[in-house]
Structure 1
Amino acid sequence: MIDTEELVGRYVAVWNEPDAESRRKAVAELWTEDGVQILQPPREIRETAAALGLTPVLEARGHEALDVRVTRSYDEFVAPGKFFFRPRNNADRLADIVKFTWEMVPTGGGEPAGVGLEILVLDEDGRIRTDYQFIEG
């Protein structure tokens, strides 16, 4: 039986992890080997693509690509000491689907600078097979 809150806690923690080797290990433990994160592109990319008659999808597949994705986010938002990520207390699970929202919060306090919705599809071992990420603000 998967503890949903524990899974969400580990998921959010990987985005705040300062140690590269610990991040790689956490990615391998959280996602299946061929796991994928599918990210809703920022509005400006969606608008540009729509003007071309396209629907953009940003995707990181496999442990190596996922590690690059997590590290890039860490380097941009957490490493400079400006922000950290935290889950909101709204995780829920239905069969093999977990949904929750997270916040990117200024380290000095204040209102969240960003909010995202995660929808995770788990395999039979409780590892993430597909991770859909929607940036909400």
Structure 2
Amino acid sequence: MTTTNNAIDYVAVVERYLAAWNETDAVKRRELLAAAFTEDAAYTDPLADVASRDALDMVIGAVQGQFAGLVFTLGGPVDGHHDVVRFTWNLGPEGGEALVVGFDVAQIAADGRVRKVSGFLDKVPAGL
């Protein structure tokens, strides 16, 4: 189910979010991060807890290094209300089975960018 808010396009928010996580070119990724996240965006999941866009950029770079060649895709419907969106994502080879599955809840700033993320890992490879 995708719930809408007159001021927020939840699917577009998530698409910008995933595009930033998938961009491997550092310069382009910084541009995508600026479009998708506030400068002081906070990101917390079981493996990371950071509080700035620069720190999130470093987390994304590390994830890309650990899972080189894999891509993030939307794992189901996007659901949102007010200034909150939730969605499931998959990380795996393009067109292949997900090696990692997660669930994120994001708070959206008035300008439509993400300001806070709480992430959960539902499926992880052994040893992660």
> Which TM bucket (shorter chain)?
0.7 to 0.9
Q: Deviation of residue 105 (structure 1)?
A: 1.8
Deviation track 1:91-122 (CA, whole Å, cap 9, x = no partner) reads 01110000000001224x44211100010011
Q: Deviation of residue 75 (structure 1)?
A: 2.0
Letter in structure 2 aligned against 1:133: G
2:103 is aligned with 1:117: yes
CA distance in structure 1 between the aligned counterparts of 2:62 and 2:96, rounded to whole angstroms: 24
Deviation track 1:66-106 (CA, whole Å, cap 9, x = no partner) reads 110111112221xx32x211012310111000000000122
Unaligned runs of 5+ in 2: 1-6, 124-128
Runs (4+) off by over 2 Å = none
Unaligned runs of 5+ in 1: 42-57
CA distance in structure 2 between the aligned counterparts of 1:65 and 1:105, rounded to whole angstroms: 24
2:50 is aligned with 1:60: yes
Letter in structure 2 aligned against 1:4: Y
CA distance in structure 2 between the aligned counterparts of 1:14 and 1:62, rounded to whole angstroms: 14
Residue 89 of structure 1 aligns to a residue whose secondary structure is coil
CA distance in structure 1 between the aligned counterparts of 2:64 and 2:20, rounded to whole angstroms: 9
The residue that corresponds to 2:126 in the other structure is: none
Letter in structure 2 aligned against 1:113: L
The residue that corresponds to 1:46 in the other structure is: none
CA RMSD after TM alignment: 1.4
The size of the alignment, in residue pairs, is: 117
The residue that corresponds to 1:76 in the other structure is: 66
The residue that corresponds to 2:41 in the other structure is: 35
The residue that corresponds to 2:11 in the other structure is: 5
**Larger helix percent:** 1
Residue 110 of structure 2 aligns to a residue whose secondary structure is coil
Q: Could you state the TM-score of these two structures normalised by the residue count of structure 1?
A: 0.78
Which structure has the greater CA radius of gyration? 1
2:76 is aligned with 1:89: yes
CA distance in structure 2 between the aligned counterparts of 1:13 and 1:33, rounded to whole angstroms: 17
Identity fraction in percent: 34
CA distance in structure 2 between the aligned counterparts of 1:27 and 1:110, rounded to whole angstroms: 26
The 8 Å contact of residues 13 and 114 in structure 2, kept in 1 or not, is answered as: no
Higher alpha-carbon deviation: 93-102 or 58-67: 58-67
Residue 24 of structure 2 aligns to a residue whose secondary structure is coil
Residue 35 of structure 1 aligns to a residue whose secondary structure is strand
The residue that corresponds to 2:89 in the other structure is: 102
